[in-house]
A and B are shown apart, each in its own frame.
Chain A
Amino acid sequence: MFGKLTIEALPLYSAIAATGALVTVGGGFIVFVVVTWLKAWKYLWTEWLTSVDHKRIGVMYIVLALIMLMRGFVDAIMMRAQQAMALNNGGYLPPEHFDQIFSSHGTIMIIFMAMPFMTGLMNIAVPLQIGTRDVAFPFLNSLSLWLTSAGAALVMVSLVIGKFSTAGWTGYPPYSGIEANPGVGVDYWIWALLISGVGSTLSGINFIVTILKRRAPGMGLMRMTPFTWTALCASVLMAFAFPALTVACGLLALDRLLGMHFFTNELGGNMMNYPNLFWIWGHPEVYILILPAFGVFSEVVSTFSRKRLFGYESLVYATAAIAILSFTVWLHHFFTMGSSANVNAFFGVTTMIIAVPTGVKVFNWLLTMYRGRITFHPSMLWTVGFIVTFVIGGMTGVLLAMPPADFLMHNTTFLVAHFHNMIIPGVLFGYLAGYMYWFPKAFGFKMNEPWGTAAFWFWMIGFYLAFMPLYVLGFMGMPRRMEQYNDPTWQPWLIAASMGAVLILIGIACLVIQLAVSIRDRRKLVDVTGDPYDGRTLEWATSSPPPPYNFAVLPEVRDREPLVDMKERGVVYQPPRAYEDIEIPKNSAAGVVLGGLAFVLGFAMVWQIWWLVILCGVAMWVTLVLRASDDESEFILSAAEVERIEVARYRALRNQNGRRR
């Protein structure tokens, strides 16, 4: 009846695992109680969960990302604490538990923190920047969100029911094979990735079509904002790289479920094919995450230096070059696997080449700041911190790109330090910059700046303290993922690294306080204009938060910085002569229902509850077919209603200006 699921699945084997489960269940329970107490279920359902509005979907993506950031960080600080104390003793975490933690840390941070954060920022900013009323496929957008959430929920549930994978976030066989890993952990990992991977593929397709087909009149490709360009390139990578992850995880699932021999050690299996398939997705994935962050930095640096971006064309071409090159470097993740010297040399050279367009961008940002009138908004601090730190990580990357050097550093903490040195400043700092930059657009009030600045400094200093020691440890020969060790010269460095993690913890606390303080002071921080930074691009031309239709009249673009151009021509914030009816997609419960069914389907696959798998599969089919056959998925917002919303906005604007005078 319940497949492999028994009462044994509860995490009573260790006090720490049981605490983790309690925190997860307790957190969910508290949210449930608070929403019920506020009588907010109906509001939540009609205004948010079933919404197909890209701005709301974007906000929900970022909420998911921030929750998963907390979870992933708890994993991180637990690992740092374990390694700081586990010299010649077992520390406080048994190996089985430690292995789950490093596996879930990587999985969560890449797939369920960075991906939703990026997709969330794209959702909030891209349609506004290209001057359209919605994405090309609003319902698919909602479906993507809920499939991603279903994957994240599977990872969270593994804390409470059963265990998570112990095979690392990359899930290499034979560790992830059924012989070495007979439990359900790897299955949780596989189904979380498969389900959310479908969501990411659909997001990629959605944004390619949105950007290529729905730009405002006059916005040629070379008038798109840098963020839109990077979002386009990242979307192309998403649409074409995620299928490779689907194949890698799917074949691994077939090995585990049906006893096939793709990656086994016997009967003709070839486990070296797995890293190939995985990294054909995995390397483009790095650029999927990092390109939109580059886009954010470009927007921020231009806005807060009050200058046009230096070398826009070169930045666009560099972005496209990185996107193409990203498919040609995957083998550098396994130089030591035994390819010939010539093959390794080829991938080493392509890896070094990819540093060139990235270097071009660094000069774009530096020269934009040169002689600019810089405002040190927290977003700008994240940007400057990124430039400095990322260059260091880039240099260690070029070092690792040399196969002979890689043979020495492979699988050591040097590598761990390197990719954190790329991904924390290159991805996370970028997304946090974007979060603070576009927050007023999404909610109509600015974020508290002092707490944002404090968060930046704790993250920045904490990052250096946490990861520079890992470079040193790598040179000293410390392998990654060690639960305990017996070399006393390592311990001081590991203690230093754990102090860095504590600083980052304070940085995260500052982010939470910043959000709370900003919400408390929302009246003081209110932004009526919709343009709090004297912005340069179209998202600042509409109100904050934008109305459901974004623009009452679609803007006409005459310049690469349309808002600067409109301000110079004096045509900005002018009520149009007449309003028109606007077509708006209706809310749909199908997205959240399909997400819920996908979650149950994944859970049933993990525990091999076959009747439930079939039931969910059929229910998903029926929901999808019903939704796909719906010919009336839109409603008309009348011109009178649009006029009412817009007139209120212009009145507020006039009042504000009157008070200023």
Chain B
Amino acid sequence: MNANVTAMPSDHEPESDIHEQRALGFWLYLMGDAVIFGLLFMTYGIMVGNTAGGPSGKTLFSLNNAALETVLLLVSSTTFGFASLASKAGSRSAVLSWLLLTFVLGAGFVFLEIREFSGMIGAGAGPDRSGFLSAFFTLVGTHGTHVSVGLIWILIMSGQVLFKGLTVPVVSRLFRLGLFWHFLDIAWVGIFSVVYLPGLL
């Protein structure tokens, strides 16, 4: 722990209280984000049949691609979990390595998604083709945007771990990043089971 962070007069608000408040605030933000995803799922649900004579999920989706994306994201959640454990153990290099691995897996996920999207747009099945495709691109794309933001955040936090060390504020930020990353996993499980599986089966 960094000395100048802990060296606070004892009668002040303890540092742990502040981070507890931030964690609660972040949980509330995630729940608001969950409302956004919920409404996008709802919109997808009512528009899935509105293909307007265009392609449907059956011809567009690839189970292999979706399964690989799922594996990458779920494994990245696990590696993030190891990063969190390492931060509790106070091992800076372990945290950095796990974060790096998480980043690589997440970047692989985003790469696969971009490849899928550009393939669909190239085949004339872009978001302006039908209501179904608008809803598909928006739901999956919102998740992909979140993952991309998470990737940038991982880089920033890696920089903080590298230069500031595992200080109390840095560890508390890592904790919130973890919440964010695991939340995206849950959202993806929803996408896999609501979008890809029913679309293909």
Partners in one complex: yes
Q: Distance (Å) between the CB of B152 and the closest chain A CB?
A: 8
At the interface, yes or no: A307 with Cβ under 8 Å from chain B?
A: no
C-alpha spacing A13/B155, complex, angstroms: 51
Interface contact A209-B25, CB-CB below 8 Å: yes
| Max chain A Cβ within 10 angstroms of own Cβ: one of B25, B33, B51, B52 | B25
Instruction: Indicate whether A308 reaches chain B with its CB closer than 8 angstroms.
Output: no
B43 at the interface (CB under 8 A from A): yes
Which residues of the partner chain B approach A580 to less than 8 Å between Cβ atoms?
9, 11
Is B114 interfacial (CB 8 A cutoff)?
no
Residues of B within 8 A of A627 (CB): none
- Minimal Cβ-Cβ distance residue in B for A235: B28
Give residues of chain B (35-86) contacting chain A, Cβ–Cβ below 8 Å: 35-36, 39-40, 43, 46-47, 50-52, 54
Shortest Cβ gap from A629 to chain B (Å)? 6
Q: Which residues of A contact B39 (CB under 8 A)?
A: 243-244, 247, 277, 280
Q: Are A213 and B43 in contact (CB under 8 A)?
A: no
Q: Is the interface of B mostly helix, strand, loop or mixed?
A: helix
**Per-residue interface assignment for chain B, residues 145 to 173, with 1 indicating a CB less than 8 Å from any chain A CB and 0 otherwise:** 00000001000100010001001010001
* Given the contacts A247-B39, A269-B131, A209 and B32 also touching, CB distance less than 8 Å: no
Interface string of A577-597 (1 = CB under 8 A from B): 000110100000000000000
Q: Are A213 and B28 in contact (CB under 8 A)?
A: no
Q: Bound state CA distance, A247 and B29, in angstroms?
A: 15
Docked complex Cα distance between A212 and B28 (Å): 12
- Tell me the interface secondary structure of chain A in the complex: helix
Judge whether B21 and A136 touch: CB under 8 Å.
yes
Q: Is the CB of A258 within 8 A of B127?
A: yes
Tell me the bound Cα distance from A223 to B50 in angstroms: 53
A246 and B142 alpha carbons, distance in the complex (Å): 13
CA distance A580 to B52 in the complex (A): 70
Interface flag for B129 (CB, 8 Å): yes
Q: Are B50 and A269 in contact (CB under 8 A)?
A: yes
Contact residues in A for B17 (Cβ distance below 8 Å) = 213
CA distance A292 to B135 in the complex (A): 37
Q: In whole angstroms, what is the CA distance A264 to B5 when docked? A: 55
Task: Pick out which of these stretches binds chain B: A152-160, A200-208, A401-409.
Answer: A200-208
> Can you list, as one digit per residue, whether each of A489-525 has a CB less than 8 Å from chain B (1) or not (0)?
0000000000000000000000000000000000000
A78 close to chain B: CB less than 8 A: no
By beta carbon, the residue of chain B nearest A276 is B42
Is there an interface contact between B52 and A268, defined as CB atoms closer than 8 Å?
Answer: yes
Complex Cα–Cα for A325 and B11 (A): 43
- Per the bound structure, the CA–CA distance linking A264 and B135 in Å amounts to 13
Bound CA–CA A246/B29 (angstroms): 14
Residues on the B chain within 8 Å of A239, using CB: 28, 31-32
Closest to B153 in A: A625
CA distance A301 to B138 in the complex (A): 49
Q: Which residues of B contact A (CB under 8 A)?
A: 5, 9, 11-13, 17, 20-22, 24-25, 28-29, 31-33, 35-36, 39-40, 43, 46-47, 50-52, 54, 127-132, 134-135, 137-138, 152, 156, 160, 164, 167, 169, 173
Q: Which residues of A contact B (CB under 8 A)?
A: 136-137, 140, 201, 204-206, 208-209, 212-214, 239-240, 242-244, 246-247, 251, 254-255, 258-262, 264, 266-270, 273, 277, 280, 580-581, 583, 621, 625, 628-629, 631
